[in-house]
Structure 1
Amino acid sequence: MDIGIPRETKDQEFRVGLTPSIVRTLSDRGHQVYVETNAGNGSSFTDAEYLQAGAKIVPTAAAAWDREMVVKVKEPLASEYSYLQKNQILFTYLHLAANRALTEQLIDTGVSAIAYETVELPDGKLPLLAPMSIIAGRLSVQFGARFLEKQQGGSGVLLGGVPGVQPGRVTILGGGIVGTEAARIAVGMGAQVTILDVNVDRLSYLETIFGSRVTYLYSNAANIEICVRSADLVIGAVLILGKRAPILVSKALVEQMKPGSVIVDVAVDQGGCIETLRTTSHTNPVYTEAGVVHYGVPNMPGAVPWTATQALNNSTAPYVVKLADRGLEALELDLNLAKGVNVRGGSIVHPAVQSVFPDLPS
Structure 2
Amino acid sequence: MVIGIPKEIKVQENRVALTPAGTQELVKRGHTVYIQDNAGVGSGFSNDLYLSAGAEILPTIEEIYEEAKMIIKVKEPIEPEYKLVRENQLVFTYFHFASHEPLTRAMMKSNSICLAYETVEKRGGGLPLLIPMSEVAGRMAAQKGSNYLEKPLGGKGILMGGVPGTLPAKVLILGGGVVGTQAAWMAAGLSADVTILDVSLPRMRYLSDVMPANVRTRMSNEFNIRELIPSADLIIGAVLIPGAKAPHLISKDMLKDMEKGTVLVDVAVDQGGCIETCKPTTHENPTYTIDDVLHYCVANMPGAVPYTSTVALTNATLPYAIELAEKGWQKAAVENEELAAGLNIIKGEIVYKAVAEAFDLPYFPVEKHLKEHLV
TM-score range, shorter chain: over 0.9
Structure 1 position 342 matched with structure 2 position 320: no
Match of 1:239 in 2: 240
Match of 1:117 in 2: 118
Match of 1:226 in 2: 227
The equivalences for 1:3-14 within 5 A come to: 3-14=3-14
The equivalences for 1:190-269 within 5 A come to: 190-269=191-270
Match of 1:38 in 2: 38
The equivalences for 1:137-148 within 5 A come to: 137-148=138-149
Match of 1:352 in 2: 354
One-letter amino acid matched to 2:195? T
What per-residue deviation string (whole Å, max 9, x for no partner) do you get for residues 314-358 of structure 1? 010000001111112211111111100000021000122122122
Match of 1:60 in 2: 60
* Distance (whole Å) between structure 1 residues aligned to residue 253 and residue 12 of structure 2: 33
The equivalences for 1:97-176 within 5 A come to: 97-176=98-177
- TM-superposed CA distance for 1:211, in Å, is 4.6
* Distance (whole Å) between structure 2 residues aligned to residue 151 and residue 212 of structure 1: 31
- Which secondary structure state, in structure 1, belongs to the residue aligned with residue 57 of structure 2? strand
One-letter amino acid matched to 1:353? V
Aligned length: 362
Match of 2:85 in 1: 84
* Distance (whole Å) between structure 1 residues aligned to residue 288 and residue 65 of structure 2: 35
* Distance (whole Å) between structure 2 residues aligned to residue 234 and residue 136 of structure 1: 14
- TM-superposed CA distance for 1:259, in Å, is 0.3
User: Which shows bigger deviation, 247-256 or 312-321?
Assistant: 247-256
- Which secondary structure state, in structure 2, belongs to the residue aligned with residue 217 of structure 1? strand
- TM-superposed CA distance for 1:126, in Å, is 0.3
- Which secondary structure state, in structure 2, belongs to the residue aligned with residue 83 of structure 1? coil
Q: Which runs of 5+ in 2 are unaligned?
A: 365-375
Q: Which runs of 5+ in 1 are unaligned?
A: none
- TM-superposed CA distance for 1:361, in Å, is 6.0
- Does the CA contact (< 8 Å) of 1:346 and 1:361 recur in 2? no
* Distance (whole Å) between structure 1 residues aligned to residue 228 and residue 211 of structure 2: 19
- Does the CA contact (< 8 Å) of 2:149 and 2:158 recur in 1? yes
- Does the CA contact (< 8 Å) of 1:179 and 1:237 recur in 2? yes
Match of 1:277 in 2: 278
* Distance (whole Å) between structure 1 residues aligned to residue 198 and residue 224 of structure 2: 10
Runs of 4+ in 1 over 6 A off after TM superposition: none
- TM-superposed CA distance for 1:212, in Å, is 2.9
Using structure 2 for the length normalisation, give the TM-score. 0.95
- Does the CA contact (< 8 Å) of 2:233 and 2:263 recur in 1? yes
Distance 1:222 1:361, change over 3 A: closer
One-letter amino acid matched to 1:258? E
